Amino acid sequence: MTTAHSPALIARGLRYDYGAFEALRGIDIDVHAGELFVLLGTNGAGKTTTLDVLEGRRQPGGGSLRTLGMDPWRQRRMVTARVGIVLQESALPQELTPLEFLQLWNRLTDAAATHVPADNNLARVGLAHRRDVRIGRLSGGERRKLELATALATDPELLILDEPTSGLDPETRADTWELLRDLLRRGTSILLTTHYLEEAATLADRLAIVHRGRVAVSGTLDEVLTAHRMTTLADVFHQVSTTSPEEASR
């Protein structure tokens, strides 16, 4: 179990390549215990690859990494038992209901021994009223909520979420934000990626901007804005009319 003085995650100089393409070129990240850390960046910046390495889904090509004090590649089973994950995309069994799926998930992951029964988990993410509907009939946003419920099944110490509110309507997104705040109050550490600047500004204790496989800047929102002030220049052009007085009077 992490404490207030032990980081949930430490990554130094992480590297990963897809053949000749360097996806990660020396990523440095710290996630403190009980904080919400946000990764921002454009498509292709390296955010999802970073999460794959942090979760133990890919072996880093260089650097050092500790997730909850463990090596996620060599100790993946132990890490998985304590880390909840929402992938950018995942396949859910279309013929099961959310309740059936979570009950099966609990049995497969030994999560039934935790304090998050399937019914309670569905209520937590706002899916209790859809518990008996086939997953194939759920909306995209409802499936995203079910994926979050799956990540919460083991009552994890650390949540790693890849664009968890993608596809959600504004009201459901706000509900998800409140759920994440509640998890933080209970001491859960959270690392998430997002394309929503409002989401990062609203939730993040600290954030990092990933650019071309490196962390370009990191810190609190105020620190990032102070260190990297932006100036917006606006040029106003007055259009010169070439219309003759005679044409204008027609």
| pLDDT, tens only, 21-39 | 999 999 999 999 999 999 9
pLDDT for 22? 95
Listed residue (152, 174, 148, 175) closest to 162, CA to CA: 148
Token pair belonging to 224:
């990032």
Neighbour tally for 117: CB within 10 Å: 15
For the chain, the helix, strand and coil percentages under 3-state DSSP, each to the nearest 5:
35, 25, 40
For the segment 87-136, what is each residue's pLDDT rounded down to a tens digit?
Answer: 987 889 999 999 999 999 888 876 555 667 899 999 999 999 999 999 99
pLDDT for 152? 93
Statement: residue 3 has pLDDT above 90: no
Q: Which residue, chain included where needed, has tokens 């550490």? A: 189
d(CA 51, CA 131): 30
Beta bridge mates, 215: 210
Statement: residue 238 has pLDDT above 50: no
Amino acid at 134: R
The pLDDT mean for the chain works out to: 87
Q: pTM of the prediction?
A: 0.85
Which of these CATH numbers, 3.40.50.920, 3.40.50.300, 3.40.50.11540, 3.40.47.10, describes 1-82+158-164+186-250? 3.40.50.300
Q: Which residue, chain included where needed, has tokens 């009201």? A: 171
pLDDT for 114? 66
User: 125 to each of 128, 183, 187, 194, how far by Cα in Å?
Assistant: 8, 12, 18, 19
pLDDT for 223? 87
Neighbour tally for 240: CB within 10 Å: 5
User: 23 to each of 60, 214, 226, how far by Cα in Å?
Assistant: 11, 9, 29
d(CA 14, CA 87): 20
Question: Where do the domains of the chain lie?
Answer: 1-82+158-164+186-250
